[in-house]
Chains A and B, each alone.
Chain A
Amino acid sequence: MAGQFQKHKLGAAGIGGMLGLSMCITLFFPSFDFRSGESTWVGLDKTLSNGRVIGFSYEDPLVRGEGKPTTVVLNKDPKTGEAIDPPIRAYVYDAKAPLSAGVRHPSNMGPTVGKLSIEKGKIDQANDSDPVVFTIEATDVDGEEWHYVNNATVNNGWTAEAVLNTAGAESQYLIGRGKTVYITEGCWWCHTLLPEHTQDWQVFGTPPFLGDFNGEMPTAFGSDRKAPDLLHVAARNSSKEWMTMHFFNPRLVQPNSIMPRFDYLWGKTDANGKAIDFSKWRAEYNDYVSGKTVHPPEVPEYAPESEARALIDWVLMSLR
């Protein structure tokens, strides 16, 4: 039998056919399911607060969190001055921040949400090079509540500058930059962002829904859990002080933790512009650990432009 025909030609066709079939089943068919997924509020919040891409990209080649939007919490209308209760989130894109993946390709947000965002939200009038502000609005379609993205600069007349000024520095959050830190520092090698629906409800909270990821890149679920799931960590523990101590040195608050110290995210100076003396801090901490002193050294207050600040903003605002 062997050699009667051009074996490798037949073989190549067979391999191509089989691989094609399996790609059809595992890639082409599911693409219909993926495309029909409608974005939830969580999904819209993620895509708007994260910006275009987290990780290496044109706007952020060194993966330092450049070109990301600022998320602010507003309790009054920046234009009319009217109170907003409960406060809402607005997403400010300056001229350097390219639009998020969802706004860029509205079909990413699902057929209905994408359509609402264009028709009602006028997101097609935003572009990469002009500052713009987005909010998430709700509307009724056939008796059901739908969330969509609203171009507040066009619809409400909110300029980026006015929104930032109204909110003030203490209500601005660097969520996109914080998620960048999560990615570059490899937190996701230990933590997951995916409670399992079989048993994690009690401890780690509700697993995510189908529409919670639209427009997010990368999803960074994490496959290998050596530490608590973080998807809802801020709902369990929203203390900024705890987070600050824990990131500086986890063993200050949890002596048995194997989490690495992230003190280097503080950068060179603290909130008051004073240089942080890490070696002194470590020496004092070692004295504390060996029982020579009773109290651990104070954790320096992080500077507003430090990576620690962005990371804590992201943890407390996004992981609820």
Chain B
Amino acid sequence: MLLKLLFAKEEDIPPGSATIFFGYSAIFWFVVGTGLGSFNAAKLAFPDFVTGTEMFAFGHMRQVHVLAVILGWISMAFAMTMMYMTPALGNTKLWSEKLGLWNCFLWNIGLSLGLFLLWIGITSGREYSDLIWPIDLVVLVAVLLPLGINVWMTIAHRRTQGIYITNWFFGACTFMVMVTFVVGQAPELFNLTGLTEGYLTFWFAHNVLGLWITPVAAAIAYYTIPKLTGNPLYSHRIGHLHFWAIIAFYSTPASHHLLSAPLPEWLKSFASVEGVLILIPAVAFVANILLTMKGRWSMFVENIEIKFSVTGVLLAIPLNMQGGFQQTRAINWYVHGTGWIVAHAHLALLGMSTALEIAAVYFGLQQMLRRKLYSLALANFHYWFYIVGFCIYWISMTIAGLIQGAGKVYEVPYIDVVVAEHPYMIARWVGGTMVFTGNLVWLYNMWMTAREGTVLPKGRYSHELAYER
């Protein structure tokens, strides 16, 4: 079916095809990625679980988890939302469904290949830039560029006067992630070495979060919340404050990841100060969205998309509070390199971004398939397994991080720290496995929606119909 569409004429491809293929690919990678996460967590809790084979060693699997969730789930879900939100907000259709489908197809192939190579140990050895440079080029040419072109051309061909804030984010972030990616991979392409390499690795790691993952997730909320509640966005100006503050402040604090490396002191201090300023876009975003919810808070209980979206927005509060302060030197020395940071990373990715994306994927798929969600009960099951599992993960790793921090400050023999962390490692595995279980249910639910969901009448939105199961 995909093959037929790939070679069909543009006019013959039903609108929404790209959204649908991206949506199901994203959910698929979400299941794979969280499954791998749960496997890794089991290995850290029980080191002799599946032992002694190169292929299933922790060091071979960890980066596969991280890149499967970032490039597979997070980024594909972004692509999926861009495929339907950008045209909807420009009152037009997607510039090219065909490009979107090819994008999705090559993305899946390139990612599978890259992850396979990483798995067997063919790596560049740079955190978050682990993919070897030929695969980096594939990502640039077959993944990021076509996505960007489709978004930019759709915005340029819009039939509205202004550009809504979500599209500002989409257009800018697809561009900035490309710049970030090219700069970040430069050490491999041009054989840059030493501290330059170390610094660029974290320049990339920081900016891919700050200029891609968190802002695009926020942009999604600017669409879903007003759309589903029927309330207009509280303030488009505050939205713009958020947007410009992200570009100004979030693109600079990369070196706060390397406060203990011998980087120039001025650079570290600059990064710490800029890092605190991240609170400006963060507060603007959270306030703007929560004020938009005014009068419609009952939907937080009744509507599954709003439930996920608002959860994501609420999680942005602790996320940015942690982020702003943990990177100052006063706090960083205690938590650096501990499980606290792992908890924070999952708060950003598995918490805030994922929750906002899940909502958008639920909504977009129902809209494009023109079918009502198969089962609310299963969706609620997904929600509760996701949120309880995430909270267990986050709390247990935060505690583990504080133990590690105390261990390093008081110079406790390392092995005692390992022993003290053990219960929390088990808790993390339990929590992560709950998230994974919830995702399996979600995949089933969306599968059934495509096959058996009630067909939406013309001109109706899915959330206007009552749930049936």
Chain A residues with CB under 8 Å of chain B are 2-3, 7-8, 11, 14-15, 18-19, 22-23, 25-27, 29-31, 33-34, 37, 43, 47, 52-56, 61-63, 101-102, 104, 108, 183-190, 192, 194-200, 202-203, 207-210, 212-228, 250-251, 254, 256-264, 278, 282
Pull 16 A–B residue pairs with CB atoms less than 8 Å apart, ordered by A.
Answer: A15-B176, A25-B252, A26-B203, A26-B255, A30-B199, A55-B123, A56-B133, A184-B121, A218-B125, A218-B126, A218-B197, A219-B194, A221-B198, A250-B47, A258-B422, A260-B58
Point out the residues of chain B lying under 8 angstroms from A227, CB to CB. 414, 418
Docked CA distance A148–B63 (Å):
37
Among the 9-residue stretches B140-148, B156-164, B299-307, B452-460, the one with 4 or more Cβ atoms under 8 Å from chain A is B156-164
Kindly list chain B residues whose C-beta atoms are within 8 Å of the C-beta of A223.
127, 202, 257, 337, 341
Q: Which of B74-82, B91-99, B167-175, B315-323 lines the interface with chain A? A: B167-175
| In contact, B121 and A185 (Cβ under 8 angstroms) | yes
A63 touches B194 (CB 8 A): no
Is B201 on the interface with A (CB-CB < 8 A)? yes
The answer to whether A217 and B193 touch (CB under 8 A), given A199-B411, A207-B262, is: yes
Cα distance, A26 to B156, chains bound together (Å): 31
- CB contacts (< 8 Å) of A254 on chain B: these are 415
A246–B57 alpha-carbon span in the complex (Å): 16
Please pick, from A15, A194, A220, the residue contacting B247 in the complex, using a CB distance under 8 A. A15
Distance in Å: Cβ of B402 to nearest Cβ of chain A: 14
Is there an interface contact between A219 and B198, defined as CB atoms closer than 8 Å? yes
Residues of A within 8 A of B54 (CB): 264
Residues of A within 8 A of B124 (CB): 55-56, 218
Would you call B241 an interface residue if the criterion is a C-beta within 8 Å of the partner chain's C-beta atoms?
Answer: no
Bound complex: CA of A55 vs CA of B63, how far in Å? 15
B240-252 contact mask (Cβ, 8 Å, vs A): 1 or 0: 0000100110011
Decide: B123 and A63 in contact? CB cutoff 8 A: yes
Residues of A within 8 A of B409 (CB): 199
Roughly how many angstroms separate A15 CA and B248 CA in the complex, as a whole number?
9
**How far is B194's CA from A54's CA once the two chains are assembled, in angstroms?**
12
- Contact check, B195 vs A34: say whether CB atoms are below 8 A apart: yes
Are B163 and A11 interface neighbours, CB within 8 A? yes
Q: Does B465 contact A (CB under 8 A)?
A: no
Instruction: Judge whether B195 and A217 touch: CB under 8 Å.
Output: no
Chain B residues contacting A15 (CB-CB under 8 Å) are 172, 175-176, 247
Q: How far is the CB of A137 from chain B (nearest CB, A)?
A: 21
Set of chain B residues within 8 Å of A33, measured between Cβ atoms: 263-264, 267
- Judging by beta carbons under 8 Å apart, are B203 and A197 in contact? no
**Among B176, B247, B255, B341, residue most surrounded by chain A Cβ atoms (within 10 Å):** B247
Contact residues, B172-202 vs A (CB, 8 A): 172, 175-176, 179, 183, 187-188, 191-199, 201-202
Give the docked Cα–Cα distance between A226 and B43 (Å). 13
CB distance A210 to B59 under 8 Å?
no
- The answer, yes or no, to whether B388 is at the interface (CB within 8 Å) is no
| Contacts known (A56-B122, A189-B59); A219 close to B197, Cβ less than 8 A | yes
Taking a contact as CB atoms under 8 Å apart, the answer to whether B194 and A217 are in contact is: yes
Q: A186–B57 contact, CB under 8 A? A: yes
Among the interface residues B187, B195, B244, B411, which one has the most CB atoms of the partner chain A within 10 A?
B195
- Residues A189 and B62 in contact, CB atoms below 8 Å apart: yes
Q: Are A26 and B247 in contact (CB under 8 A)?
A: no
Nearest chain A CB to B207 CB, angstrom units = 9
Q: Which B residues are within 8 Å of any A CB, using their own CB?
A: 43-44, 47-48, 51-54, 57-60, 62-63, 121-127, 132-133, 155-156, 161-163, 168, 171-172, 175-176, 179, 183, 187-188, 191-199, 201-203, 244, 247-248, 251-252, 254-255, 257-258, 260-264, 267, 270-271, 333, 336-339, 341-342, 404, 408-409, 411, 414-415, 418-419, 422, 425
B452 nearest CB across to chain A (Å): 42
Considering the complex, give the chain A residue whose CB is closest to the CB of B205. Answer: A223
Bound complex: CA of A270 vs CA of B62, how far in Å? 29
Contacts A256-B419, A258-B47, A282-B52 supplied; 13 other A-B pairs, CB < 8 Å: A26-B203, A37-B194, A63-B122, A102-B193, A187-B59, A188-B125, A195-B260, A213-B198, A214-B194, A220-B125, A221-B198, A224-B342, A260-B57
Question: B62 to A202, Cβ gap below 8 A?
Answer: no
CA distance A3 to B48 in the complex (A): 64
Contact between A198 and B333 (Cβ–Cβ < 8 Å)? yes
State the CA gap A55–B260 with chains docked (Å).
25
With A and B bound together, what is the CA distance between A173 and B121 in angstroms?
23
Interface of A is mostly: loop
> Cβ of A203 and Cβ of B411 under 8 Å apart?
yes
- The interface residues of chain A lying within 8 Å CB-to-CB of B63 are 186, 189
Whole-angstrom distance between the alpha carbons of A278 and B191 in the complex? 40
Of A25, A55, A219, A263, the contact of B52 (CB 8 Å cutoff) = A263
A108: chain B residues at CB < 8 Å are 193-194
Asked if A7 and B162 make an inter-chain contact with CB atoms under 8 angstroms apart, the answer reads yes
Given contacts A257-B47, A264-B53, contact A37 B195 (CB under 8 A): yes
What chain A residues lie within 8 Å of B258 (beta carbons)?
221
Min C-beta distance of B246 to chain A, whole Å: 10
Measured between beta carbons, the chain B residues less than 8 angstroms from A47 are 193
Nearest 4 pairs of A and B residues by beta carbon: A186-B59, A3-B161, A183-B125, A184-B121
- On chain A, the residues within 8 Å of B198 by CB distance are 213, 218-219, 221
In chain B, what residue has the closest Cβ to A31?
B196
Select from chain A the residue with minimum beta-carbon distance to B412: A203
In the assembled complex, the Cα of A190 lies from the Cα of B196 at a distance in Å of 23
Q: Are A264 and B195 in contact (CB under 8 A)?
A: no
A214 / chain B contacts, CB cutoff of 8 Å: 193-195
B418 touches A257 (CB 8 A): yes
Q: Report whether A196 and B57 are in contact in the complex, using a CB–CB cutoff of 8 Å.
A: no
Known: A228-B414, A260-B47. A217 touches B161 (CB 8 A): no
Smallest CB gap from A227: residue in B: B414
Nearest A residue to B127 via CB reads A223
Q: A228-B414, A258-B44, A264-B52 are in contact. Are A22 and B251 (CB under 8 A)?
A: yes
Q: How far is the CA of A225 from the CA of B171 in the complex (A)?
A: 37
B57 touches A197 (CB 8 A): no
Contact A2 B162, CB 8 Å, known A22-B248, A263-B52? yes
CA distance A184 to B258 in the complex (A): 23
Distance of A186 Cα from B270 Cα, bound (Å): 32
Report A-chain residues with C-beta under 8 Å of the C-beta of B58. 186, 189-190, 260
